[in-house]
Structure 1
Amino acid sequence: MPDLSRARLRRAAALGTRFLLIGGLSTAIEVGVFNLLVFVFGWDVIVSKVVASLVALINAYFGNRQVTFKDRDRRGRRQEILLFVIANAVCTVLGAVLVWAGGALVEVVTGSQPGPILLNAINLFSIAVVVVARFGFYHLVVFRVPQAK
Structure 2
Amino acid sequence: MDLPTRLRRLAGVGSRFLVVGALSTLIEVGVFNLLVFVWGWDVVAAKIVASLVALVNAYIGNREWTFRHRDRRGRTAEVVLFLATNAVCTALGAVLVWVGVEGVEAILGREPGAVAVNLVNLTSIVIVVLLRFVLYHGIVFRASPKP
The bucket for the TM-score relative to the shorter chain is over 0.9
C-alpha separation in 1, matches of 2:2 and 2:79: 33
Counterpart-to-counterpart distance in 2, 1:117 and 1:30 = 16
Q: Distance in 1 between matches of 2:81 and 2:49?
A: 19
- Work out the number of aligned pairs and report it: 147
Runs (4+) of structure 1 exceeding 6 A deviation are none
Identify which of 75, 97, 111 aligns with 1:99: 97
SS across alignment from 1:42: coil
Structure 1 equivalent of residue 54 of structure 2: 56
The aligned residue for residue 43 of structure 2 is: 45
Q: 1:72 aligns with which of 44, 48, 70?
A: 70
1:46: Cα distance to partner? 0.8
SS of the equivalent of 1:78 reads: helix
The unaligned stretches of length 5 or more in structure 1 are: none
Distance 2:55 2:109 in 1: 34
In structure 1, how many angstroms separate the alpha carbons of the residues matched to 2:121 and 2:16? 23
Deviation, structure 1 residue 51: 0.3
* Partner amino acid, structure 2, of 1:129: I
Provide the TM-score with structure 2 as the length reference. Answer: 0.97
Give the counterpart letter for 1:119 in structure 2. Answer: V
Shift of 1:43: 1.1
CA distance in 2, matches of 1:75, 1:8: 23
Measure the CA separation in 2 of the matches of 1:133 and 1:60: 14
Number of the residue aligned with 2:5 = 7
**1:6, distance to aligned residue in structure 2 (A):** 2.3
AA paired with 1:136?
V
User: Structure 1-normalised TM-score?
Assistant: 0.95
- Shift in Å at residue 5 of structure 1? 2.6
Partners of 1:89 and 1:72 lie apart in 2 by 22
C-alpha RMSD of matched pairs (Å): 1.1
| Unaligned residue ranges in structure 2 (runs of 5+) | none
Aligned partner letter, 1:100: W
In the other structure, the counterpart of 1:135 is: 133
In structure 2, what is the Cα distance between the partners aligned to 1:136 and 1:44?
30
- Per-residue deviation at 1:9? 1.7
Q: Secondary structure at the residue paired with 2:2?
A: helix
Give the aligned partner of residue 18 of structure 1. Answer: 16
Query: Aligned residues: percent identity?
Result: 59
Output the amino acid matched with 1:78.
Answer: T
